[in-house]
Amino acid sequence: MSTTAPSRWESQRSFDELGRPLRDLTFTVVDLETTGGSAEAGSMITEIGAVKVRGGEVLGEFQTLVNPCAQIPPFIAVLTGISNAMVADAPTIESALPAFLEFAAGTVLVAHNAPFDVGFLKHFNQQQGRSWPGFEVVDTAKLARRVITRDDAPNCKLSSLARVFRSSTTPNHRALSDARATVDVLHGLMERLGGLGVHTLEELQTFSARVSTAQRRKRHLAEGLPHSPGVYLFCDDARRVLYVGTSRDLRTRVRSYFTASETRSRMGEMVGLATTVEGIVCATALEAQVRELRLIAEHKPRYNRRSRFPERMHFVKLTREPWPRLSLVNRVLDDDADYLGPFSSRKGAEKCLAALHDTFPVRQCSDRFGKVPSRTPCVLAALGRCLSPCDGSVDATTYAAVVRLLQDTLLRRPDEVVDAINRRMESLAADERFEEAGVHRDRLAAFVRAAARTQRLTALSRCPEIVATRREDDGRWAVHVVRHGRLAAAGVIPPGADAHQFVAELRMSAETVGDAPGPVPAATAEEMEKVLRWLESEGVRLVDVEGEWACPVAGASRHLEVHDAVSKSRRSLVPFAERRDITTVHQPAR
């Protein structure tokens, strides 16, 4: 596949990537005193205190009492020392809040238990009809819980932390004093975190004790990666691939593994083992997704949980022999048989097989019969669930008619199975045999999903080539060449380039893909489904289609929406509704 030129962002480093050094930022440390614990419940602010600091130096202070226009509860007055008489001549929040916001403009807000203080400020700001300035916020209480141990302090209250960091101000439930104490706590926490490699605001905000120091110090592994879509591979010191992932922005995504935004414990273990990260730039997001699948299947990384074994698939096969039957198989052969699948689990395949056997009385034995068999009938024949060709109970013409109907159900119209199982579910539900009805519902669901999947994959795989394009979010046109369901080439038309020539050259350089039997001949089912989702997404234009890309008009897809709605309630046994047929033939743009 072709790749694009390096992104124009590759030569620039964003603030998110570089980080903003803590020593260069201005912080406004704020504290409030209130009449209660909830602004929504009617509590009011009685005092605002704030200290503005930068690089360890105090730049200014803000303090004002606030008239709550209501009586201060006695226990609050005792706790804070703020009485009704003290606030009688104080400004109301309507004038105090704008003054504070002007003082704090352009800074990072800091508070101990920030949701409380910032929540009050936001509440009254909204009440006054103003838009919130969008401050970035640091919560020293939250930060302390990640840094302070029981050996340091019994808890993370401001008074306890002030003692730990030897604050020059003792918290006393007055806003300015508590804000000054919080400044000392903030600086103490920064000093500790600096020893752990936390030097920027972004690192401070995402710091977590779950991210080890060794893990955080591996941020340099992302430095050589570009801001481009692609695939990344974490490798250990023996060059073994540990994990494969994909992203629209390789550098930003890989950096996230070294911060608290990555919460999966197994990923922390993986990063601890990794010594290098390899990036593969891709032309488009779809190419990146497909490359990821192929690399996972190739390397089978221990820390990837999905897509590692695409070869472990199951199919339901309608055999080609004098007396055809349904069989579970693990691969598709070039034997002119019909296949339904693939299924990712044998259990799903067995449910689908049961749904078909419930509807069509074809033989279920695995014996090989001649054209004129002469054997003893099985139990299923006695139960009326098998036409019993083994003892001559059915002639070849009648049996072949049933097989043709079964074949049509597999490949084109699933109505026979849907109607038969719906009738059985209705009967069982009427007799209040809900558990049995639920079993048939699950079988029907497995069949409908498998039939829809098979029909969609088969339609795509039969097309020797599809060329499609779409304008991406950045305004450029992405082009994909798909051959027999496999992504053969991907590219982005450069600005000012001749689009027709670019597409022609991309087609010439695309991978050669040959046809093969079955619904997934040239690519895995997962890859084909990603390609299909892109081809069917909004804005895609078909440049050229070689062959006919079309799904059956009466195919299984028309039942999926109804089934999914029914399945939202696991106890629901409502039969599938009839739906109007929709033609799904795809034509190239003219």
Whether residue 586 lies in the annotated active site? no
The span from the CA of 393 to the CA of 455, in Å, is 34
Strand, helix or coil for residue 492: strand
- Of 173, 187, 199, 299, which residue is the catalytic one? 173
Closest CA to 317 of 288, 340, 348: 340
> At residue 191, what is the residue type?
E
Taken as a whole, the chain contains a residue count of 590
Q: What burial class does residue 585 get, using C-beta atoms within 10 Å of its C-beta: 0-12 exposed, 13-18 middle, 19+ buried?
A: exposed
Closest CA to 235 of 208, 197, 274: 274
User: Who's near 104: CB < 8 A, 6+ residues apart?
Assistant: 28, 30, 50, 52, 62, 135
Chain centroid, CA 172 distance in Å: 47
**What would the DSSP string read from start to end of 108-157?**
EEEETTHHHHHHHHHHHHHHTT-------EEEHHHHHHHH--TTT-SS--
The span from the CA of 485 to the CA of 482, in Å, is 6
Bridge partners (DSSP) listed for residue 481: 467, 489
Q: In this structure, are residues 226 and 6 in contact, taking their beta carbons and an 8 Å threshold?
A: yes
> At residue 285, what is the residue type?
A
Q: In this structure, are residues 545 and 590 in contact, taking their beta carbons and an 8 Å threshold?
A: no
Q: What residues are annotated to the active site? A: 173
